[in-house]
Every structure is written in C-alpha cells, then in structure tokens.
Structure 1
Amino acid sequence: MEQQKNNKKALKVTLLLFLAVGLIVFILPFGAEASWRQIFRFFGLSDFAAAADDAPLSVHVLNVGKADSIFIACGGKYMLVDGGTPDCGEEIAEYLDRRGVKKLDYVFNTHPDTDHIGGLGYIISHYKVEKYFAPNIPKNLIPKGEEYTAVQTALRQTGTSVQNPPCGESLQLGDLKIKVLAPVNTGDSTNNNSIVLKLTFGKSRFLLMGDAEKEEESDLLKSGENLSADVLKIGHHGSSTSTSEPFLHAVQPGFAAISVARDSSELPKKDVLKRLWTAKIPVYRTDVSGTLVFMSDGQRIHVLTEQ
C-alpha cells in the first residue's frame, strides 16, 4: 500500500514537472526548438537525431510506416521530400521542431499518392514554405481524394509558390546541389511520374526515387544521366516493380535505404533484397531500424539509426 502511494506521488511530481518545463516553450527567449532540446535533456530523454544537428549535411529518412518522408538539412537551410500518410503530418512537424526548423526552403511532393502527399497539408499550414514542387501529371491521374484536395487548399490559403520542375532543373540548398532527373517522359501511372532527385554535397551523392518503377528507371537509363550515388533511397518501398538489376548496376550505391512497414504487402520483396545482397549493398530499413539519418561532411557518409 505504501509503495502504491509513493508511486502515485512520484507520478504527480513528474507530471507537474513536465507541465512546468513545457511552459519554457512560451516563456523563454531561446525559441521552440531550443525548448524541445531543453525538455529532452531535463528528463534525460534521448533525441537520437540531435547528433546530426551540427553535421554539414544530414538526410533523414523518417519512420512514417509504409510511406515516404525525407527531411534534409544543409547549412541552416531545410527541405522536405514527401509527407507520409495524413496521420503523419503532426509527427513530422514535431520532428522538424526538434531540428530547429522554422521555415522550409523547399517542399517536394514526388507524386500525389496518399502515402507521399498525405501529411503535406498539415506541414504547409504550419511552416512557411518558400517553394513547393510537384510533378506535372496528366489530368486523368490527378487524385480526387481529400488528401490531395487538402494540400491544394493549404497551398492556396498560404499563397505558397507551386512549381512543376522540368527534367534537368538544378537548385541549391546551401552548399547542396539538387538536380531533377525525372520524370523524363510522361508515365501512365502516378508512380511512373515520380520526381527523382539527385543530391550532391562535395563527393557525397544521394538518389531519391519516390515510387519510380521499372519503366521510369528505364527512361533514366536511356537519358544518359550519371546515376551513380552513395545512397539510394529505394523506389516504391522495395516493391518488385522497382530497383531493376540494370538500374542498380548503374547506380552502384554504397548504401540502400528503404522506407517501409510490415503489412500484408510483405515489403520489401525478397527479389529486391536478393539483388541488393548479391551486390553487397548494406540495407537500412525503417521497419527494422526506425528513422535513418545519413550525415556527410562532403567526403564521408556516416549512418545513424533510431533503433
């Protein structure tokens, strides 16, 4: 009985402390992002990705289930590629707050499927977004669901600039070079109209595939573009429709990242994993390791995992 009383008292004290420390966000002058870190340190909690805050470049493959959301930070500039499913928006925002984000320089929606566009309405409504990029897909492929509509509404209400980047367009995020490699041609599905991005920071290269399938991979191979990369974000969550052998041979990545969750689809597929293992490419999966963080100084890449 005495032990139960002590436990209840300890719980009350902890809750009161948490509420008190939470007020720091609104009272102290060092801002919300610093407050997050203060709170984590106060309670002895681990914000594992804090180790990336001082990295010249960090690429965060967020653990958003069988969906995609990739956060990129370089020299105090920030971008987000996709926003997971609709229920992920708030969770992604909390992660961005802990990283000190107040404004997103770029937001890319690789294609308008629910598991890529779902949380972006929330993000656009809660952060200043300088530029928003989306593929110019055929009208018959434009979704009619509420997730897509919510994003269009948020874009209009916030007056956010919207662009359909052509293949070959180049951008800068601090010292990070961003090049749009695809879609090369208009595909017959939303997946095969995915925006594919190549990120270059010094000698470090990242290839972000969205949900591009073999048809779009084939277009990339025919384009003559240099596809080699140190980190390949595997297309379509490890589906058999992507990561063909010729494409993998052209990229020759040092690391493979798969954003996925266990469900009836049984992704990533065994044939994809076999191709990666045969090529001796280390595979990092969000369903196994949680959020994945790739940090680079322009020479070497260091991998940090949540679990």
Structure 2
Amino acid sequence: TALVDGGLSRGARDPASRRGLPQQLAALGVRELDLAAVTHAHPDHFAGLAAAVARGLRVRELWVNRQGEAEHPASDYARFVRDLERRGTRVRRTPELCGEHRWGPATLRVLAPCGPRGYDPALDENDNSLVLRLSLGCADLLLAGDAGLAAEETLLAEDAPLEAELLKVGHHGSRSATGEAFLGRVRPLRSVVPAASHRPGLPGPPHEPVLERLRSTGSEPWWTGRDGALTVHLAPAGLRAWDALGRPQWALPARCGP
C-alpha cells in the first residue's frame, strides 16, 4: 500500500473525505504503508499523515525532497520526518531518489526535484514538490504535487516523460501552475483538481482559466470541492473511476505508442 501526500480534511464536501486520513485508512483496514511520499513540507500535504502516525500507523518507507529539513530544521515537518526515522522508517530523499522504481507490476518514477541538492534553493516549497509518474502497462498517472510554472519549465527543459492519461493537477488548480506548454506535453484525457470550494483557510477554488485550459485539451476536470472524492483504478489497458458513492464516472483506454 502506498500513499502520496496526506493532508487535512477540514470542510470536505463528502462524508468519505470528512472522515480525515486516519479514519479513512482505518476504514480501509490499512495499518501499515509500504510507502508514503510527501511532495513538500506544507501541512496540507503531510499533517494528516502525521496524525495517522501518531495514532499508530506504521510507515516502512518515506520519500521526500530535502528542502523542508534543510531550510526549516526546527519545523513540525522536520520533526515529523525525524520521528519516522526514529520509528524505523527508511527515509529516502532527492536527488538520490530520482529515477525509476519498480512497484510490483507498476513503475513509479520520481521526475523532480532532481538537481544536485535535491531541491532548487531559488524556488519555493511548492515548486520543489516531488513530481511522480505511475505507469502500469501503457497507462500513466502524473502526480504534480504543488509544482507551479517554474517547476513545469524545468521538467519541459529536461524532456521529462510527462505524458499521462490522468493528471493530478498541480497546486490545487492555482493560476500559478498548469501552463499550456506543460499540458501540451502531458496531453491528459482526464484531470483531477484537489481544491476546496470557497472555504476560508483551504486551497481553492481552482482558477477558471486553469479549468478552461484543461477543457481545451480535451481533459474534463474533476474538481473535488465540487464533485467529491474520486477512486481511480489503474490497469495496463487503462483507467476507471468511481465517485464517493461508488457510481462509475469514466473509463479511459491506455494510449500505447506515439
């Protein structure tokens, strides 16, 4: 079992999300994670995971970038990482983490941040997010963390493998991410925007120009603040998705070849 980011669920729209990460994992019978990846050191990406660990969740391996610990060694985030290490978790950091990792029949690739320090000190924590691409057969899922336009430009310049049927949109649909050139390389068939709906203190709602850019590529966005939680099943031949009530939403065939 793997988890990418585990934030807070204040003000979530549907009951599945309002339960919060510790309760959701317990409902699924998950008492141990083989892998947890925290894209960057913001509470909306790690605080729920920290709460679950405090309640007894075991984490065998943690993936992080180096920025949060290097620049803010006394922060809650840095203490959280150190606590996991004391509990026996194997912590792996960029840049050594960058590249391909086999995950059963799937491949999980860390695309960024992969500079010599494991992060770019000229960029903020959002733009130093881990960017991950999960592949199974010909089907691909791109997880952009909170990476913004600067991070996207680096990925494009490095000719990173970005094409994916499904895109987890960067930075909650903010205008500071999801540029046209980036979308032109990813070519998503569907996209998920994790953002709240007009709730103070929560990221969101997504900016309409971002939603319009997604639609213009043929990628109808699923906005969690409006549409609720989404379950996606990745298979070699494609992806299927269901809403929080278990109703089928879409099925995407995998794109094989150029």
TM-score computed with the length of structure 1 as normaliser: 0.68
Does 2:240 match 1:302? yes
Cα gap change, 1:85/1:95 in structure 2, threshold over 3 Å: closer, same or farther?
A: closer
Identity between Structure 1 and Structure 2 (%): 30
Q: How does 1:1-307 map to 2 (within 5 A)?
A: 78-85=1-8, 91-125=20-54, 126-137=56-67, 141-142=71-72, 144-146=74-76, 148-149=77-78, 151-152=80-81, 154-166=83-95, 168-185=98-115, 186-187=119-120, 188-263=123-198, 266-306=204-244
Question: SS at 1:275's partner residue?
Answer: helix
> Which has the larger helix fraction?
1
8 Å contact 1:239–1:268 — kept in the other structure?
yes
8 Å contact 2:60–2:88 — kept in the other structure?
no
Residue 123 of structure 1, CA deviation: 2.5
Which stretch of structure 1 is more off in the superposition, 243-252 or 263-272?
Answer: 263-272
Distance 1:282 1:138 in 2: 34
Distance 1:114 1:295 in 2: 27
For 2:132, the aligned partner's letter is L
For 1:298, the aligned partner's letter is P
Q: Moved runs in structure 1, 4+ residues, more than 6 A?
A: 86-90
Distance 1:141 1:258 in 2: 29
Distance 2:26 2:237 in 1: 28
Residue 85 of structure 1, CA deviation: 2.8
8 Å contact 1:103–1:128 — kept in the other structure?
yes
Residue 164 of structure 1, CA deviation: 0.2
CA RMSD of aligned residues (A): 2.4
8 Å contact 2:41–2:68 — kept in the other structure?
no
Residue 172 of structure 1, CA deviation: 2.4
Question: SS at 2:222's partner residue?
Answer: strand
Distance 1:89 1:254 in 2: 28
Residue 138 of structure 1, CA deviation: 6.8
When Rg is computed on C-alpha atoms for both structures, the one with the higher figure is 1
Whose RCO is larger (CA < 8 A, sep 6+)?
1
TM-score computed with the length of structure 2 as normaliser: 0.81
Gap runs ≥5 in structure 2: 11-16, 246-258
8 Å contact 1:194–1:210 — kept in the other structure?
yes
